[in-house]
Amino acid sequence: MTLGFRIQRRTVTVDADIANRFANLPVANVSDSMSRLTAAGSRLRPFHEAGQTMAGPALTVKVRPGDNLMLHKALDMAEAGDVIVVDAGGDLTNSIMGEIMVYIAQERNVAGIVIDGAIRDADEIRRCGLPVFAAGVTHRGPYKDGPGEINTAIAIDGMVIRPGDLILGDGDGVLCVPMEEAEAVLAATEAKQAAEQKDIAAIRAGTIDRSWVDETLTARGCEFTD
């Protein structure tokens, strides 16, 4: 085994039906249902049209900062519905991907791309219709020499992502749900979403109960003065 320069095959992925059910749930609610402990960092921002969401199994890629050889190979390996997640070390010196690679991803019916690094051709990527998240933009292009890894565990700002884990994305950012926990997290998120819809209905009806605010302040020993 060659550490740092290897390509592996996924043996298991999150269930496709479960992934599809997550697609219409806010990432923020999923995050709340995971105790707010998991995040890919606020630097990963959407570079696509507002309103697009992303949900699918991770095809993981680890590259040397500024080099995209392994991302090219991952595009050739990608299956329909995959989310390609690239650990590029967060470096913004050279871009990892531009419009040509996005077009290839679309032809492969990829569900989205996450780059912990920079992209270029940002204006065209915004128009292309594919969810793309990245840490920044630079016009400087990538190298294509390697090394790198495909389908090994990676981490972005402490969020561990294994091949086949569920990757979600919307306007609030990117989140990984471990595949073995996806069903339980889905149930908790659907319950939270239903509760929020009841709260929104109560707000619009003028019947929302806000007593918890003063109760919490009192319990915390807050002093009220006139």
Is 159 annotated in a binding site? The answer is no
- For 116, 145, 174, 216, the CA distances from 177, given in Å and listed in that order, are 18, 32, 10, 31
The SS3 of residue 2 is: coil
Is 181 annotated in a binding site? The answer is no
Is 179 annotated in a binding site? The answer is no
How far apart CA 91 and CA 119 sit, in angstroms, is 11
Is 121 annotated in a binding site? The answer is yes
Task: Encode burial over 87-121: b for 16+ CB neighbours within 10 A, e otherwise.
Answer: bbbbbbebbbbbbebbeebeebebbbbbbbbbbbb
Is 98 annotated in a binding site? The answer is yes
Element (H, E) at 20: helix 16-22
Max CA-CA distance within the chain? 71
Contact 194, 30 (CB under 8 A): no
Is 113 annotated in a binding site? The answer is no
Pick out the residues of the known binding site for Mg(2+): 121
Pick out the residues of the known binding site for substrate: 98-101, 120
Pick out the residues of the known binding site: 98-101, 120-121
